Every structure is written in structure tokens, then in C-alpha cells.
Structure 1
Amino acid sequence: MVKACILGCSGLELTHREAEFFRRERPLGFILFGRNIDNPEQVKRLVADLKASAGHPNVLILIDQEGGRVQRLKSPHWPAYPAAGTFARVSNDIYEQRELVRLSARLMAADLYELGINVDCAPVLDVPLPGGHDIVGDRGYGFDAETVAVMGRATCEGLLAGGVLPVIKHLPGHGRAVADSHHALPVVTATRQELEAVDFLPFEVNADMPLGMTAHIVYDAYERKHPATTSRKMIRLIRQKIGFDGLLLTDDLSMNALSGTMTDRVKAARAAGCDVMLHCNGKMEEMEAVVAHSPRLRGIAQKRFEAAWARLNKRIEPVNIDEARLRLQQALSRIDKSSPRRTDPTEAFADTSLAAMRELGGV
């Protein structure tokens, strides 16, 4: 019996208590954060131990490796990658942008694949809009839905080619949120017409992807009480209107946007229709509540998982890593010389992104 939950762990190696707990409860998978990462050999050992402790063959190992501000694997052991919003500053040619986005994702997949990590919680398909909180900012690929849709798909393709499953997030759209859902519950007041024309479009274009993640956001045009993660109406919208039929993960259940006990949160997300409960902070007492109330992986959720697992390439796309890194570095270096700075919601993060780019070839 596999539990439909993904859990964290507390440090660089499993404690005896964690290993016993995971062996007993058999979670579907695990997610890694900075607290779990030191060097490549240590990460490989931890990943192997996590997979062994789960007690079943098809264990998902997740990580947030977007580039820019959000990347758990960092220098000096791993290259730094540019934020999603950087690529538009490299070239005005959307076809070149798309090529570079895919190339960057393919290189990130190579890093993850080497460690045994098989899921990247990317791409961000949120469209950052004026007035929105900067939690998205340069994590978004652009400021119009079409660009985000195209570049998000390029990221998915690059990850899949490298043997890593993408997770489209945050369904059905985080770009209008005026608060960070890590700390508070955002309420989006846009009309249905606005949401359907902009926010939903990138997810509709990428609805065939294997994994998706919900947003802890209230969309009061549809549902005034519950955030999407715990709203039957919004999960139905994700399934029927947006058309996503992949395995649907909650965003982290320990985030402060959600209310109630951990038991309350799991029960609400499960009742709303989420397939898999995601809990990230590695706190044992909270994980005990998560697994106690997470469903077994069965029925339609089991079929969705099997379909997602089948998308993992048995033979990954060949790539010359050194040549690919050089190609990306050369393209990104043009930003200093020819790309005008844009006045947009990601402006505050441009310097951080540039610093990341300059490290790209240094590993």
C-alpha cells in the first residue's frame, strides 16, 4: 500500500526515526530542500536511501530547480541557471528564446538525472501582472499569457528529454496574487473573463503534462471561501475547463495560506479532489498527521500516476553537456551589451539573475 503523499526529511541524511517511519508508511515520494543538500555524493546517498525506505519501485524524488532565485542545487557543486524572466532580455527573437529555455531545462535535467532526482517542480506558468506580489516576478517567463505558455512548454520538453518529469504550477494561476501564500492567503478579485483570457491559458496549453501543482489562492469570481487547493469548484475547473488530467499535487500543506490543523488541511485537500498531498518541512509530528489522513494511491489517482511515470524516458536525449553549457553561456552574455532593461515586475530581480548567469560556466 502506497500513501498518496510526498514528504520531506530533516537533514543531509535520514535519521533512524525517519527511515523507520518511511518504511512503515510507504509515501509515494519525497522532496528535497537546501537543508538536504551539501555535495553530489551526499545527495546521491540521500536519494538512494529515500528510495529504499519507501519500499516500492516507483518513487518520486522532487526538487525546486527553476533557476534564478529558486534553485536548491547551487554553486560551487552545480551551475547557477538564469531565472525564467531573463530569457526575454537575451533576444527579441521568440524562437531563439524558446531554444535557450529548452536548452537550460535540458541542462538542469542532466544535473538532476545524475543525482537520481526524477521530478523538477517547474515550470512556473503564472503570468506576473501589475499589482501582483513579487513572489512570481522573474520566475515567470514573460508578461503575456502566450509567451508564458510557449516558454513553459519548452521547459517541459527540455526536462522530459533529460529523463525528468516537469510539474506545471501553480494551477490555475498565481500571477495576480497580492500576497505570498507562504505567509498569508491571497485573494484574487479578477473577473472570470480576465482569468480565462490570461491566467488559465498557459495551463490549458500545457494541460497534457504529467504533473501539476495547485495554488493556495482564493479566486472569488468562482469561490469566495476556499483556496484552490481545498476547493471542489476550483479542482473541477482545473480538470474540466483547463483540461488538466495529470497527477495533481497540492502546494506545500505547511504554508500559512492554509488554515486549520495539518489534519484539517489534508482532509480538505483530499475532499476537494487533489490526488497527492505535498508536505515539505520535514517535521515529524506534521508528517505523521499527513500520512494518517492521506489516501492510498488507487483508482483514478493510481492511473494518473502510472501515466506520469510512463513519461519518464527510458533512454534520455543525447546531449554534449560542455557544448550546451557554452552555447547557453554565450547567448546569455549578450544581455550585458545589447539587451535594454525593461520596466516590468521583475526589475527588482535583474541583478540577481545576472549574477546567476555569470556563474553558469564556472562549474
Structure 2
Amino acid sequence: MVGRIGATGLLVFALAACSGGGQAAAPSAPAAPPASDQSPAAAESAITTPPLARPKAGSDVRGVLSRLTTEEKVGQLFMPVLYGTAADTVSGENQTRYGAQTPAKVIAKYKLGGVILFPANVKSTAQVVKLTNDLQAASPKVPLIIGTDQENGLVSRMSALMTDLPSADRIGASGDLGYSRAVARATGTELKALGVNMDFAPVADVNINPKNPVIGKRAFGDDPRKVARMVGAAVKGFGDSGIASSAKHFPGHGDTATDSHTGLPVIKHTRAQWERLDAPPFQAAIDAGVDAVMSAHIVMPKLDSSSDPATLSKKILTGLLRDELGFKGVISTDALNMDGVRKKYDDGEVAVRAVLAGADLLLMPYDLKKAHTAVVAAVKSGRISKERLDASVTRLLTLRQKRGFLTEAPRVSAERAATVLRSAKHRRLAQGPAR
């Protein structure tokens, strides 16, 4: 990811979860509290305190869906970045971009389904715990999906607080599938302790182009079969921790020398090449039960001749990912503020076309108001059918149900988080696989 500085001095990020070319600099933040070396079992357990009050009636997915208005359903599709280190932080950036001053008010205004966190949202363990608890409190009808990009290595949004675990290329070089699973489990456990319930990881791209400016060390390697095994193990590790994972960037961002933040990469793989080089890690992720798959802002003309990026391609997202690979979970876009997806259409049309292509989660639209308004209008006009909207919301609710927060968002505790973040067990894990 590449960061920019907004007018108020807060970081405005060019990418949410995925094709980040470099780690945005985190603000100066105090180190996490020294971790206790005691009670490792407790440290690995769920970090919860009494949940927020939620409606009891209709506690299944269908019941929750039935209580939502059209505007609330549309809001469930969006996951922007909000500005501030507290839910009540008054920010000119929020006001300018979203028409509401605080993160809590933005959530209430758009009935958001999710929020993504970046280093500018992070100061300390206690602060992040309070932030995620208070963000959940601002969404009384449906708990938020709170995501981040914690790949470890180059893209590590919570690095100020979390264990410095190895990057994917180091894990891949070890050849140890158990190590891949253990690192993902530790990453998810620390995120869950902070109140983050979704990680946009692992990277499922195969690093087959040495000139690739955005993948590189973020991938497990350059051998599709070995990468597939590592990705499958990582997905299982995230599942062990209890948080959702997202394999990225479909249909494969590994063979390009163009940065999709600033341009639109074209990958000329034939269908046979795609099946051999790009598909195996995504199939492995699906087979391992991955919760979400993130699209890439790339053109693969042999898979779709329209010249639209995969994020806006029904042939790729619905035809290939859903119908052929059999993926039933959430399809997330890569960040919609990246130039790669904004070349042909305005921000409202990009959001509508992403939904029509098969996307369920619309990540970081450049203009949230325009995107939200356009999707609502498309549903009301029938361009996006109500059945299509309900299908996406159902998948997003099912993800919550699978991960245990469909109707009740667990409140996390700073005291208990301190026993997990940078624990002795995780510090040992960071040193490499046990021999």
C-alpha cells in the first residue's frame, strides 16, 4: 500500500488491503505493554468480556436480514477507512469525505457494515481496544466487520503493537506448512485480542515476475504448488484463531510489472497458463475454508475480453470464482480508491458494476457518498435486483455467524489483550520454525 497525506495531516491511504507497494509509515506510538509469560493457555483463548446488547429476536441470518431496510442493506456492503483514534474523534477529514465529523457518526449515517483500520488509527493497545469496542457500539443493529491488512512483513498495519512475525516469503522458504499455520494463528489471535475480526490475508499471488512492484516478498514464493500449500495452511491458521481471512488478489496479481495503485495492469496469461500458474493457491484457500477472496484491479483479456478489471468483471468474479472454483463466501474488492479501477468509470458506477460483477464487500470507495447513493439508486431502479443485494448481505451475515458475531459483538479487554500481544510464545514463533 501507498499512503498519501490528507489535508488535515491524517494519512489518506491509496489502498486498503491488498496490492500495497509499500508499508505506509505508522505514526509514532508507544510500544505494547510488556507481555506476561504466564498462562499461555489463557493467552491463546478468546479475548472477550460481556457482549454489547443486541436484539434477541430473529437471531439467525435470515432473521437479521429481514430487519434491514434497503438503505441498511446497501450500507452493509461498504468498508471505508475512518479517521481518528477514537470513535468520537472530530476530524475534518471525516467531515470532508463523509459529511460527518466522527467515526461513530459516519457509521450511523451510512449504516456501515465494516471499517478498515490503518496505522493512523493506532496509538496503543488500550486505545485500539477502546476504539474497536466503541465502533461496535456505534452499530447497534448489526456488529461491524472490523478489518485490517496484517500480512506481516511489508504490509503490517498493526506493527506498532503486534509481534514482528515473518513475512510470507520467509515462511515459504522454510517449506514448513505447520509454521505457516502457526504464524497465521498467532496473527489472528493478536488481532482478535484488539477487536479486529477480519484480516485481509493471506496473499495468494504467485510471485512469478521479478519486476512486480507490489507483490514480491508478500507472496509465499514463485512455485504455484508450494504457494498453494502454504496458503491453505495459513487459511486454516486464521480459522484456528477465530477470525476471518481473505485470500488476495484474484485472479492473480503475480505476473505484472505495473502497480495497480497508479495504473491498470494487463496480464496476458492464457486460460491454460492461468490454471497452472495463478489458480492453485486460490483453489487451496477455498478448499481450506477461506472466508473471503479479494479481487484484483487487473485485466486478463484471455479470461474476459471486455478490458474491464477483474473487480468489475462478472465473467471473472461470478463465472470463474463462484461458478467454476465453487467459492461460496464473501467476495471483497481491492480498494476502490486505486487508479487501476477508476480508469473507465466514475466512483458511483464503479461501485454498481462491482456489485453486478459479483462483489459483496466494497472496500474503501474514493467517494463513499457517491458510491452509496449510486448503489441505492441501482437497487431502487431494479438495475441491481433485490435478490442480488440480499445475496451479498446474506454472505456477509453468514461470515459473521461463522466467526461468532452475527448479533453480538464481543467486547475486548486491554488487560487481557496485553497477555496476548507480543507474548513469549509468539516471540519464539517469530524466530522461525521449531527444529
Q: TM-score, normalised on structure 1?
A: 0.82
Aligned partners of 2:401 and 2:271: how far apart in 1?
35
Is 1:87 paired with 2:171? yes
How much does 1:79 deviate? Answer: 1.8
Letter in 2 for 1:231: S
Q: In 2, are the aligned partners of 1:8 and 1:280 still within 8 Å (CA)?
A: no
1:262-294 deviation digits (Å, cap 9, x = unpaired): 11211221222211211167xxxx221232234
Which residue pairs with 2:38 in the alignment?
A: none
Which residue pairs with 1:78 in the alignment?
A: 162
How much does 1:228 deviate? Answer: 0.4
Letter in 2 for 1:146: R
Is 1:46 paired with 2:125? no
Pair 20,326 (structure 1): closer, same or farther in 2 beyond 3 Å: closer
Pair 278,330 (structure 1): closer, same or farther in 2 beyond 3 Å: closer
Aligned partners of 2:202 and 2:183: how far apart in 1?
12
Letter in 2 for 1:213: M
Aligned partners of 1:311 and 1:148: how far apart in 2?
26
1:225-277 deviation digits (Å, cap 9, x = unpaired): 10100112111211122222211111100001022321121122122221121
Pair 22,313 (structure 1): closer, same or farther in 2 beyond 3 Å: closer
Letter in 2 for 1:240: D
How much does 1:132 deviate? Answer: 4.7
SS in structure 2 of the partner of residue 206 of structure 1: helix
1:165-205 deviation digits (Å, cap 9, x = unpaired): 00111111111122111111100011111001120111112
How much does 1:322 deviate? Answer: 4.2
Q: In 2, are the aligned partners of 1:5 and 1:290 still within 8 Å (CA)?
A: no
Pair 280,162 (structure 1): closer, same or farther in 2 beyond 3 Å: farther
Q: How does 1:261-300 map to 2 (within 5 A)?
A: 261-279=346-364, 286-294=367-375, 298-300=389-391
How much does 1:303 deviate? Answer: 2.7
Is 1:160 paired with 2:239? yes
Which residue pairs with 2:108 in the alignment?
A: 23
Is 1:7 paired with 2:80? yes
Q: In 2, are the aligned partners of 1:160 and 1:313 still within 8 Å (CA)?
A: no
Gap runs ≥5 in structure 1:
335-363
Q: In 2, are the aligned partners of 1:120 and 1:164 still within 8 Å (CA)?
A: yes
Which residue pairs with 1:195 in the alignment?
A: 274
SS in structure 1 of the partner of residue 135 of structure 2: helix
Pair 171,48 (structure 1): closer, same or farther in 2 beyond 3 Å: same
Alignment partner for residue 393 of structure 2, among 295, 302, 317? 302
How much does 1:330 deviate? Answer: 4.1
Which residue pairs with 2:309 in the alignment?
A: 227
Which residue pairs with 2:337 in the alignment?
A: 254
Aligned partners of 2:163 and 2:365: how far apart in 1?
24
Which residue pairs with 1:361 in the alignment?
A: none
1:117-154 deviation digits (Å, cap 9, x = unpaired): 00000000000103551311111112111111111111
Q: In 2, are the aligned partners of 1:161 and 1:313 still within 8 Å (CA)?
A: no
Pair 267,328 (structure 1): closer, same or farther in 2 beyond 3 Å: same
Pair 100,131 (structure 1): closer, same or farther in 2 beyond 3 Å: closer
Is 1:213 paired with 2:290? no
Q: In 2, are the aligned partners of 1:179 and 1:186 still within 8 Å (CA)?
A: yes
Aligned partners of 1:333 and 1:179: how far apart in 2?
38
Q: TM-score, normalised on structure 2?
A: 0.69
How much does 1:63 deviate? Answer: 0.4
Pair 117,280 (structure 1): closer, same or farther in 2 beyond 3 Å: farther
Aligned partners of 1:132 and 1:203: how far apart in 2?
22
Letter in 2 for 1:84: A
SS in structure 2 of the partner of residue 167 of structure 1: strand
Q: Which moved more, 1:209-218 or 1:51-60?
A: 51-60
How much does 1:17 deviate? Answer: 2.2
Aligned partners of 2:310 and 2:209: how far apart in 1?
22
Which residue pairs with 2:93 in the alignment?
A: none
Q: Which moved more, 1:287-296 or 1:24-33?
A: 287-296
Pair 23,329 (structure 1): closer, same or farther in 2 beyond 3 Å: closer
Aligned partners of 2:248 and 2:431: how far apart in 1?
29
Pair 240,73 (structure 1): closer, same or farther in 2 beyond 3 Å: same
SS in structure 2 of the partner of residue 169 of structure 1: strand
% same residue: 29
Q: In 2, are the aligned partners of 1:103 and 1:324 still within 8 Å (CA)?
A: no
Alignment partner for residue 214 of structure 2, among 135, 139, 143? 135
Letter in 1 for 2:85: L
SS in structure 1 of the partner of residue 113 of structure 2: strand
Letter in 2 for 1:328: L
Pair 248,88 (structure 1): closer, same or farther in 2 beyond 3 Å: closer
Q: In 2, are the aligned partners of 1:182 and 1:257 still within 8 Å (CA)?
A: yes
Q: In 1, are the aligned partners of 2:330 and 2:392 still within 8 Å (CA)?
A: yes
SS in structure 2 of the partner of residue 188 of structure 1: coil
Pair 24,237 (structure 1): closer, same or farther in 2 beyond 3 Å: same
How much does 1:66 deviate? Answer: 0.4
Which residue pairs with 1:344 in the alignment?
A: none
Which residue pairs with 2:154 in the alignment?
A: 69
How much does 1:313 deviate? Answer: 5.6
SS in structure 2 of the partner of residue 27 of structure 1: coil
Q: In 1, are the aligned partners of 2:348 and 2:372 still within 8 Å (CA)?
A: no
SS in structure 2 of the partner of residue 257 of structure 1: helix
Aligned partners of 1:168 and 1:148: how far apart in 2?
12
Q: In 2, are the aligned partners of 1:132 and 1:175 still within 8 Å (CA)?
A: no
Pair 48,280 (structure 1): closer, same or farther in 2 beyond 3 Å: farther
Q: Which moved more, 1:41-50 or 1:305-314?
A: 305-314
Say how many residue pairs are matched: 321
